[in-house]
């Protein structure tokens, strides 16, 4: 969907709809581009810097194309106690990037995320929409291999 079509739905709305608009744009387009910010700023008659200021405040918004596999490692206290640090270390070793960076092939990205609230099965990671619970650092290589296989098949 074009950004204009999304904005049309919000005709006559004010600043309080800024976050819902940005959320919808991200859902449709995958990320918030510079173009989108400028368009939203014209639409809401707010400076683009303000829009950017709001968007960067919240963890949910991102400003670059998202990878095929976005790995979120739960940063809850239970996952921490159950060894999520080891998982992070293993991910760094396997993917050869730091948290929050895209891998060179652009397929993976991993980062810490707020508590997912699934403390019964710690440690938990979430790849796109799928949960992997009670995993250890050893399982990581296999999970990543599986993801790579799926990409190859597609």
Stretch near other proteins under the rule CB under 8 A, chosen from 4-12, 49-57, 102-110, 141-149: 49-57
Upstream peptide bond of 121 is cis (omega within 30 degrees of 0): no
User: What is the footprint of other proteins within residues 22-41 (CB under 8 A)?
Assistant: 22-23
Residue owning tokens 């079509």: 5
In the numeric block, which tokens belong to residue 72? 């979120």
C-alpha 125/C-alpha 122 separation (Å) is 9
**Which secondary-structure segment (H or E) carries 24?**
helix 18-29
Q: Which of 128, 129, 127 is nearest to 142 (CA)?
A: 127
**Residue 77 interacts with other proteins (CB under 8 A): yes or no:** yes
Q: Which of 30, 53, 100, 106 binds other proteins (CB under 8 A)?
A: 53
| Count, residues near other proteins per rule CB under 8 A | 38
Stretch near other proteins under the rule CB under 8 A, chosen from 2-10, 19-27, 28-36, 98-106: 19-27
C-alpha 71/C-alpha 125 separation (Å) is 7
**Residue 71 interacts with other proteins (CB under 8 A): yes or no:** no
DSSP E strand boundaries for the chain: 69-74, 108-113, 124-127, 130-133
C-alpha 74/C-alpha 88 separation (Å) is 10
**Residue 127 interacts with other proteins (CB under 8 A): yes or no:** no
| 38 vs 107, beta carbon nearer other proteins | 38
User: What is the footprint of other proteins within residues 87-126 (CB under 8 A)?
Assistant: 113-122, 124
Contact footprint for other proteins (CB under 8 A)? 14-20, 22-23, 53-54, 57-61, 75-78, 80-81, 85, 113-122, 124, 129, 131, 133, 137
């Amino acid at each position: 969907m074009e950004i204009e079509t999304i904005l049309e739905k919000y005709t006559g709305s004010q600043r309080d709809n800024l976050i819902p608009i940005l959320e919808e744009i991200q859902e449709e387009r995958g990320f918030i581009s510079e173009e989108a910010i400028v368009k939203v700023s014209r639409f809401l008659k707010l400076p683009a810097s303000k829009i950017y200021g709001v968007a960067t405040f919240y963890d949910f918004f991102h400003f670059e194309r998202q990878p095929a596999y976005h790995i979120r490692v739960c940063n809850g206290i239970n996952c921490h106690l159950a060894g999520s640090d080891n998982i992070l270390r293993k991910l760094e070793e396997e993917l050869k990037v730091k948290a929050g960076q895209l891998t060179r092939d652009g397929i993976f990205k991993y980062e810490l995320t707020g508590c997912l609230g699934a403390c019964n099965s710690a440690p938990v990671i979430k790849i796109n929409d799928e949960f992997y619970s009670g995993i250890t650092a050893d399982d990581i290589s296999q999970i990543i291999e599986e993801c790579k296989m799926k990409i190859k098949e597609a």
